[in-house]
Amino acid sequence: MEDWTEQKAMDWGLHEECGVFGICDPAGNCAQTTYYGLYALQHRGQEACGIATINDREQSFYKDVGLVSDVFDKKTLTRLNGTMAVGHVRYATTGAGERENAQPLTIKYVKGTLAVVHNGNLVDVDKLRQSFEYKGAIFHTTSDSELIAYAIAQARLHCGSVEEAVCRATAELRGAFSLLVMSPQKMIACRDPWGFRPLCMGRKGEAILFASESCAIEAVGGKVERELDPGEVVVVQDGKVTSIRDNCRGLSHMCIFEYIYFARPDSVICGQSVHQARVNAGRLLAREHPVEADLVVGVPDSGLDAARGYALESGIPNGMGFVKNRYVGRTFITPDQQSREQAVRIKLSALASEVAGKRIVMVDDSIVRGTTCRQIINLLREAGATEVHMRVSSPPFISPCYFGTDIPNKEKLIACHNTIEEIRQIAGADSLGYLSMEGLHQLAPDAKCGFCEGCFTGKYPIEVKEE
């Protein structure tokens, strides 16, 4: 189901499908605000981005492959000015990364226009697409997000409002979807009934804001008001906010990896600081896997907070072991070993003045295939580290993700075919310790939600068919 390619497998770390941002502001200038909101969500997707706006009930949009700062300029944003806007940053987990799969998805149909932005993955995509095609649907993308847009448009033909269409359509969908839908008069925000992906709401003066993470609302000067509940549909029209809870089931299965890797550390998800969750993971790692060492270093960026926690708990000094090249986007590599190693060196270098002659605890968020961590450990050894003890702030991956994270199938997961000792030898570490499942359950004590841990357990909130 996932478009897991060799190119993605060799890219830097894991990725999550995308981030969404929306604003309703009678004062206008929504495109520029959305631009800054997407900038704050750039970590959630670097393949493509786009913005759609409504001005006097007329829809305009622009999208392309590339980073937010590359796709949009002042002239484009001025042309997009309006009183409502939705925006999207994309990393493809279903569908290829071409321009036609960029979002927002904009459609014109008998009832008018819609613009849809979506974070997550549906399951049973092939079956759903085939069902629509037999009814005459013609699809222009390979993204599952277009299925959502089509389902809403189809439902709208048989009900009295866009929000009712969203409720009807999403009640029939299975999988992860935090989405924003914009019609000429309304903006509708919706989370799937399982609550896999985050979505919050805030305000800035008279403006009403929606975003995948709280950091984006704060980045544009807004104040977070609350997070949408799983299954909730929120409608904004003429400054009035209405909540529809027909699809709410009282269940929650937030992706635990939002706290470990995906979200920005300054975000708060379900009441839990992401930064503090990562520090907690590091502290738990230090209790579970102590070691005598001289310095604790984190692999940028998500490993830094966990490394701080490990240092605080163990008493070992926390230092800067790596310098990350922040001007490198997606890695321009071919799938041969020499190119893979060169890609790591382009993005990361070890700080010899800090690590030479020392026993190092290296903290990272995960091990997927094992190739990248081996290369990073080699960087430390080449810089003069006498020992490298690897600590991982999550349990071993034993299953793929079907809900918007590009964790590959079991054939690609090193933990499915090797013991921890064998992984240690492959990585070239002096010792290796993963966070336990017990530790995983303790890293986010303030989170007011349940979690999806399927990638660590093979047990999912929704029944899925392995492909």
Active-site residues, by number, are 18
In angstroms, the CA 30 to CA 142 distance is 29
Which of 372, 302, 304, 364 is closest to 342 using CA atoms?
372
What the block records as the tokens of 261 is: 């890797």
State the DSSP H helix or E strand holding residue 163, giving kind and residue range, or none if neither. helix 162-171
Which of 68, 26, 66 is closest to 51 using CA atoms?
68
What the block records as the tokens of 138 is: 């013609």
In angstroms, the Cα distances linking 443 to 141, 161, 367, 405, 415 are 39, 42, 18, 20, 22
State the DSSP H helix or E strand holding residue 349, giving kind and residue range, or none if neither. strand 348-350
Exposed/middle/buried for 400, CB within 10 Å: 0-12, 13-18, 19+? buried
Residues 254 and 447: beta-carbon distance below 8 Å:
yes
The residue count for the chain: 467
Q: What is the CA radius of gyration of the chain?
A: 22
Please count the other Cβ atoms lying within 10 Å of the Cβ belonging to residue 277: 27
